[in-house]
Amino acid sequence: MIEFTWIKIFAALPLPLLVYLLLPRARSNSGRALKIPFFQELEELRQTSSGKSSGWLRLLAVIAWILLVCAAARPQWIGDPISMPISGRDLLLAVDISGSMQAKDMQINNQQVDRLSMIKKVAGEFIERRQGDRIGLILFGSRAYLQAPLSLDRKTVNQLLQEALIGIAGEKTAIGDALGLAVKRLQQRPGDKKVLILLTDGANTSGTIEPLKAAELAKTAKLSIYTIGIGADRMVVNSFFGNRVVNPSADLDEKTLKKIAELTGGRYFRARESRDLEKIYALLDKLEPVVSEDQNLRPIRELFFWPLSGALILVFLLLLMRRYESS
């Protein structure tokens, strides 16, 4: 279906006719400096040929004017309604990309991988399932920055997560700054369905905001925070004295992460392996379900450039014909 956005512009269609009828005609100079024989016959022949060409010129000019008015009225093609599920939830993922995330104490398909690779796989699947949520992505190390603003485009958010690199935001961990950035992005958003999922493997060692202070601000902004501690409890390390078992998650500040979740009405989870994280995201799907509320959207495509292009082509032809006639 084609519709015109500014249909009142069609009132300008008779404007050239009104100008032609109301304005006085230009006077022609009838004086002749030179008289030649058979002038009357030549004049009649000229008027006959010019009458035919002027008729075509007027027709092209009228069509060009109609096309210009149509373009100014802004025609649009409006497609059939498309039903889209909208939950109204704003969901941010804050992912730790500090230097400690390169510890290879996780497994995917029986292969040892680093912590960030495991998060990319499981969190990516979680993002794809959240149809209808507005999802954003925060990455943080020594600094926190917004990698993807809130969007319904889950594919792009997931792609930006997959492109994240360990250490590009610094080697340390600014949990408080990540929380503060989330509050800043969400506190002005309408509604009360605002969720932050924070994934980290350490403690707050950088930044300007204390994590618990940021959690209090999040509580005021009605932002629910779910914190997830990443890292295995034991890992075998090869050394000069042979193999030894270490705890790669010794620096994980579970106490603070639990307090953050408690203050904001969320929950704390511990992910020691990829299966744990998969279960956590499955539980989050239940705790924060996608609301099946449909909104009908109609795709719109602008068409004004078609009549505008036609008008420009006709004007160009008019100029060529006038130039040819005058020569």
Please report, for the chain, the start and end positions of each structural domain, with discontinuous segments joined by +. 2-20+44-79+298-326, 85-295
C-alpha span between 65 and 14 (Å, rounded): 10
Instruction: For residue 140, count CB atoms less than 10 angstroms from its CB and return exposed for 0-12, middle for 13-18, buried for 19 or more.
Output: buried
Strands 144-151 and 106-108 turn out to be unpaired
The class that CATH gives domain 85-295 is alpha beta
C-alpha distances (whole Å) from 85 to each of 133, 294, 297, 298 are 9, 4, 10, 14
Cβ atoms 315, 95 nearer than 8 A: no
Tokens encoding 272: 């020691």
Cβ atoms 197, 284 nearer than 8 A: yes
C-alpha span between 119 and 279 (Å, rounded): 13
Residue matched to tokens 């890292």:
231
Residue matched to tokens 């009605």:
222
C-alpha span between 219 and 242 (Å, rounded): 49
pLDDT tens for the chain, residues 1 to 327? 888 889 899 998 988 888 878 877 666 555 555 454 444 544 454 555 555 566 777 888 889 999 999 999 999 988 877 666 555 678 999 999 999 999 998 888 888 899 999 999 999 999 998 887 889 999 999 999 999 999 989 999 999 999 999 999 999 999 999 999 999 998 878 767 789 999 999 899 999 999 999 999 999 999 999 999 999 987 766 766 667 677 888 889 999 999 999 999 999 999 998 889 999 999 988 888 765 555 566 788 899 999 999 999 998 988 888 777 666
Q: Where do the DSSP E strands lie in 14-143?
A: 75-78, 82-85, 90-96, 106-108, 111-113, 134-140
